[in-house]
Copies of this chain bind each other. A is one copy, B any other.
Amino acid sequence: MKPNPFFSGVSRRALLSTLAALPALAGTLLPNSAPAQTATSGGPLPSWNDGAAKQAIIKFVRTTTDKASPDYVPPEDRVAVFDQDGTLWVEHPIYTQVVYCLERVPAVVAKQPKLKNVEPFRTVLSGNREAMARLTMHDLEKILAATLTGMTVEEFEAEVKKWLETARHPRWNRPYTELIYQPMLEVLRHMRDNGFKTYIVTGGGQDFVRVYSERVYGIPLEQVVGTVGGTKFGYDKDGKPFLTKEPKLLLNDDHAGKPEGIHMMIGRRPYAAFGNSVGDRQMLEWTAAGPGARLKMLVLHDDAAREYAYGPAAGLPDSKVGAFTPALYDEAKKNDWTVISMKSDWRRIFAFE
C-alpha cells in the first residue's frame, strides 16, 4: 500500500498539462481520415492488419490452449490483464474519470454552497482552464475526495451511470464509452473464446470502471482491479446498513501497485498483459517473469490522424498522460515485448468508424 496521496495514481503533471489543451481540442472535430474497412478474413481479429502484433496474439492463444503444446496452460490459470486508459479506450486529452470529477464539482457545490467561494472549487467553477492548470496536487486531491467519496456506493454508481449518458468527448462529440478500441475488444473476445479470464487492471478508480465494464467490455465487475478507496459500513436511522465511500487509499493500482493489486484481487500471475505506459511496466515485468509462454504487449499511440500521437511516436518526454517513455520503449525492445502500432497494426480504431 502506498502512503499518500489519496489518489496518487493520477499525477498532477499528467492531469494538468493537458487541461489547457481542452478548449482547442473541443473545436477540432477531425474528419475520420481512415474510414473503416470491412474485415477481409474470417479470423478472430478482423480489425487487425496482418503483422507481428496480430501474429503474436494468435500464436500465444494457440500455443497456450493446445494440449499437445509444451506451453499448454490449464483453463483455471488462463488470466489476461488489460490496462484501461490508453489501452482499451482513449485517455487523451485527459483521463475520463478526471473529467467526471471536474464536471461533478457544480453538483457538489450545489449541495454545499459554502464551497462556492472556496478553492479549488471556485477555480473549477470559473471554467478558466489556465487557472485550473495551476492547481496544486493538494487542490486536486480535494476535488477527487469531494467528488469520489462521501456518498453511498449505490449513489456513486447512479451518478456515474447518469453522467456517462450525457458526457461527450470534445474531439468526437461521442459518449466516452464509444471511444473503445475495436481491435482490443476483438482481443478480449478472442481470449475469452479460448478460456481466458479477462481482467481490467487500471490506475483508475475500481468503482468507477465497474459501472460500465460489463456493458462496454464484456468484463464482469468482479474482474475489474483498480485503484481502491476504502468504504465504511454504517446504519441509517432505520437500522438499515449502508457502505459509504471514504477518502482513504487502500490500493494505488498503478506502477508497482499493479502486480500488488493483481496478487490481492486475482491471486494468479497473468499469462498475458496489455498496457501502454510506464504505469504498466511492472505489470508486464511481473507477467514476463513467469515460466512458459507469456504475452506482453504495449499499445503505441502513433496515429494523430485517427487518434493521437504521443510518447516515442511524437518524440515527447514523459510529461504527458499515460506516458510511453523512451525508456519503456527500450525495455520493450530489449525483452521482446510486442509494440502495437495503432497506425499500422489497426485497420480501424473505433466501432463507429
Q: Does A137 contact B (CB under 8 A)?
A: no
Which single residue of chain B is at the shortest CB-CB distance from A285? B241
Given contacts A267-B221, A267-B224, A268-B222, contact A260 B243 (CB under 8 A): yes
Contacting B at CB under 8 A, from A258-277, are: 259-260, 263-268
Q: Does A198 contact B (CB under 8 A)?
A: no
A148 to chain B: closest CB distance in Å? 14
CB-CB under 8 A from A206, the residues of chain B are 264, 267
User: Are A264 and B1 closer than 8 Å at their CB atoms?
Assistant: no
Separation of A231 and B267 alpha carbons in the complex (Å): 12
Given contacts A1-B248, A214-B76, A286-B233, contact A241 B259 (CB under 8 A): yes
CB-CB under 8 A from A214, the residues of chain B are 76
A138 to chain B: closest CB distance in Å? 22
User: Are B233 and A265 closer than 8 Å at their CB atoms?
Assistant: no
A104 to chain B: closest CB distance in Å? 21
A81 to chain B: closest CB distance in Å? 12
Q: Which residues of A contact B (CB under 8 A)?
A: 1, 76, 153, 206-207, 210, 214, 220-222, 224, 228, 230-233, 240-243, 248, 250-251, 256-257, 259-260, 263-268, 282, 285-286, 289
User: Are B264 and A231 closer than 8 Å at their CB atoms?
Assistant: yes
User: Are B153 and A263 closer than 8 Å at their CB atoms?
Assistant: yes
User: Are B250 and A232 closer than 8 Å at their CB atoms?
Assistant: no
- The A interface, classified by DSSP as helix, strand, loop or mixed, is mixed
Separation of A260 and B266 alpha carbons in the complex (Å): 17
Which single residue of chain B is at the shortest CB-CB distance from A207? B267
Separation of A214 and B77 alpha carbons in the complex (Å): 12
- Known pairs A76-B220, A206-B264, A231-B264. 4 more at Cβ < 8 A? A1-B230, A76-B214, A210-B267, A241-B285
A237 to chain B: closest CB distance in Å? 14
CB-CB under 8 A from A248, the residues of chain B are 1
Separation of A214 and B282 alpha carbons in the complex (Å): 28
- Pick the contact of A259: B233, B263, B268, B289 (CB < 8 A): B233
Given contacts A233-B259, A260-B231, A267-B210, contact A241 B1 (CB under 8 A): no
User: Are A263 and B222 closer than 8 Å at their CB atoms?
Assistant: no
Separation of A36 and B76 alpha carbons in the complex (Å): 34
CB-CB under 8 A from A242, the residues of chain B are 289
CB-CB under 8 A from A289, the residues of chain B are 240-242
Given contacts A1-B250, A285-B241, A289-B241, contact A231 B265 (CB under 8 A): no
A-B contact pairs, 29 of them (CB 8 A): A1-B230, A1-B248, A206-B267, A207-B267, A210-B267, A221-B267, A221-B268, A222-B265, A222-B268, A231-B260, A231-B264, A232-B256, A232-B260, A233-B256, A233-B257, A233-B282, A233-B286, A240-B289, A241-B259, A241-B282, A241-B285, A241-B286, A242-B289, A243-B259, A243-B263, A243-B286, A250-B250, A250-B251, A250-B264
Separation of A232 and B3 alpha carbons in the complex (Å): 13
